[in-house]
């Protein structure tokens, strides 16, 4: 192509050349406008991306214990409707929900009596456990109601599903779907005949007595201290069980405690005796049997300090059963009963 100044007028006015020239100008203008728009929009795009990354990282951060929706710490006892930080709602009616555990992975509450409605937000990071004495309800996200009376516990599901666990249910567990309910009645205590102590003359000379003390090498003085059932007090039998345990005879101690429970059905310290039986069983790794004894101890009544320990032992057993692991034997020097 010849230089511009050497072209004729006809060549300069050529339509096709003019159109190519204007198309080039338009392309250059469009590229300039695009660069200007990007320079203006880039900060907003970068800020939006940074916000999205922050929200994503926040959603993946470890969950914290539940609080009230207002940010206030969750109280130890809930007696009125509350909205929690994860959107869940607890609505007691004529009862109180006592908070037993409030961690990032589990919330556990105890309904002592009355009714309560639970609206658990699904998809949360924690399990929910509601204790009702001889019944336990476990959920992850659902709406359900619990009614507890002196003689029964009734669980009804409105949305989602729950697992109801109780030693008084067939197979020990039942799953409830929406619209289903189950009522678990508290069984009446069955009177049991006291175990008969073997008489000294009934034991062969070569057979060791169940009351033989490994410290003395012979028959312990426990045999001489055994009083007839109608004359030995409940506290006396508990003290005798403690002495047998101190001598390393935990099986004998457990048998004496069960005899005391059978002979004194209305004694005020029955809860302490049941918890002592539970701790003996836990030390032997008999977790399933210990769970039943802990439930009886909580039903019969325990001092405040022992109630907290009993709930902790029960939670350990339940978690061990869920994970296929059972708590190992504990330190034998730990005292079984507390004043």
Among 10-19, 95-104, 220-229, top mean pLDDT goes to 95-104
Residue-level pLDDT at 158: 93
Percent of the chain scoring above 70 in pLDDT: 66
Average the pLDDT over each of 8-12, 34-38, 170-174 and give the range with the smallest value. Answer: 8-12
CB 195 within 8 A of CB 259: yes
β-sheet bridge partners, residue 154: 147, 183
Tell whether the model's pLDDT for residue 264 goes beyond 90. Answer: no
Using CA atoms, how far residue 294 sits from 7, 41, 68, 167, 247, in Å, is: 109, 66, 31, 12, 24
Task: State the CATH class of domain 222-323.
Answer: mainly alpha
Q: What is the average pLDDT across 86-93?
A: 93
Strands, DSSP E only, in the chain? 77-78, 82-83, 89-93, 97-102, 106-111, 114-119, 127-131, 136-139, 143-148, 152-159, 162-165, 173-176, 181-185
Torsion over CA: 295, 297, 301, 307 (sign)? negative
Evaluate whether 77-185 and 222-323 have a shared fold: no
**Average pLDDT over the chain, rounded to an integer:** 76
Q: What is the average pLDDT across 188-203?
A: 51
The topology (CATH level 3) of 77-185 is Jelly Rolls (2.60.120)
The domain segmentation of the chain, as residue ranges, is 77-185, 222-323
Q: What is the 3-state secondary structure (H, E, C) of the chain?
A: CCCHHHCCHHHHCCHHHHHHHHHHHHHHHHHHHHHHHHHHHHHHHHHHHHHHHHHHHHHCCCCCCCEECCCCECCCEECCCEEECCCCEEEEECCCEEEEEECCCEEEEEECCEEEEEECCCCCCCEEEEECCCCEEEECCCEEEEEECCCEEEEEEEECCEEEECCCCHHHEEEECCCCEEEEECCCCCCCCCCCCCCHHHCCCCCCCCCECCCCCCECCHHHHCCCCCCCCHHHHHHHHHHHHHCCCHHHHHHHHHHHHHHCCCCCCHHHHHHHHHHHHHHCCCHHHHHHHHHHHHHHCCCHHHHHHHHHHHHHHHHHHHHCCCCCCCCCCCCCCCC
Query: pLDDT digits over 138-186, tens only?
Result: 986 789 999 998 889 999 999 999 999 988 888 888 999 999 999 998 8
Q: What is the average pLDDT across 76-91?
A: 94
Query: pLDDT digits over 291-324, tens only?
Result: 888 888 888 888 877 888 888 888 888 876 655 5
Q: What is the average pLDDT across 54-58?
A: 51
In this structure, how many other beta carbons lie within 10 angstroms of the beta carbon of residue 279? 22
pTM exceeding the 0.75 threshold for the entire prediction = no
């Amino acid at each position: 192509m010849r230089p511009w100044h050497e072209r004729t007028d006809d060549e300069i006015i050529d339509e096709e050349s003019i159109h190519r020239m204007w198309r080039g100008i338009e392309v250059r203008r469009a590229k300039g406008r695009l660069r200007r728009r990007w320079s203006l929009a880039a900060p907003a795009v970068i800020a939006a991306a940074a916000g999205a990354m922050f929200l994503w990282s926040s959603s993946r951060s470890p969950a914290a214990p539940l609080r009230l929706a207002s940010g206030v710490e969750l109280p130890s006892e809930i007696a009125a409707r509350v909205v929690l930080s994860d959107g869940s709602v607890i609505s007691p009616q004529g009862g109180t929900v006592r908070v037993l555990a409030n961690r990032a992975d589990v919330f556990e509450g105890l309904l002592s009596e009355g009714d309560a409605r639970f609206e658990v937000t699904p998809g949360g990071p924690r399990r929910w456990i509601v204790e009702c004495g001889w019944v336990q309800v476990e959920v992850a996200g659902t709406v359900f109601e619990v009614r507890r009376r002196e003689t029964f516990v009734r669980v009804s599901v409105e949305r989602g599903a729950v697992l109801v666990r109780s030693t008084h249910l067939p197979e020990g567990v039942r799953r409830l779907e929406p619209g289903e309910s189950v009522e678990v009645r508290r069984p009446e205590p069955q009177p049991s005949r006291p175990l008969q102590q073997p008489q000294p003359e009934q034991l062969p000379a070569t057979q060791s007595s169940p009351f033989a003390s490994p410290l003395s090498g012979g028959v312990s003085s426990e045999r001489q201290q055994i009083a007839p059932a109608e004359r030995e007090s409940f506290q006396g039998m508990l003290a005798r069980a403690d002495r047998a345990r101190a001598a390393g005879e935990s099986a004998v101690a457990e048998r004496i405690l069960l005899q005391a429970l059978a002979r004194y059905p209305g004694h005020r310290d029955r809860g302490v005796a049941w918890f002592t039986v539970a701790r003996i069983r836990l030390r032997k790794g008999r977790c399933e049997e210990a769970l039943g004894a802990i439930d009886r101890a909580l039903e019969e009544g325990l001092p405040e300090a022992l109630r907290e320990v009993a709930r902790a032992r029960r939670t350990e057993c339940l978690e061990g059963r869920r994970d296929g692991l059972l708590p190992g034997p504990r330190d034998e020097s730990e005292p079984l009963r507390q004043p």
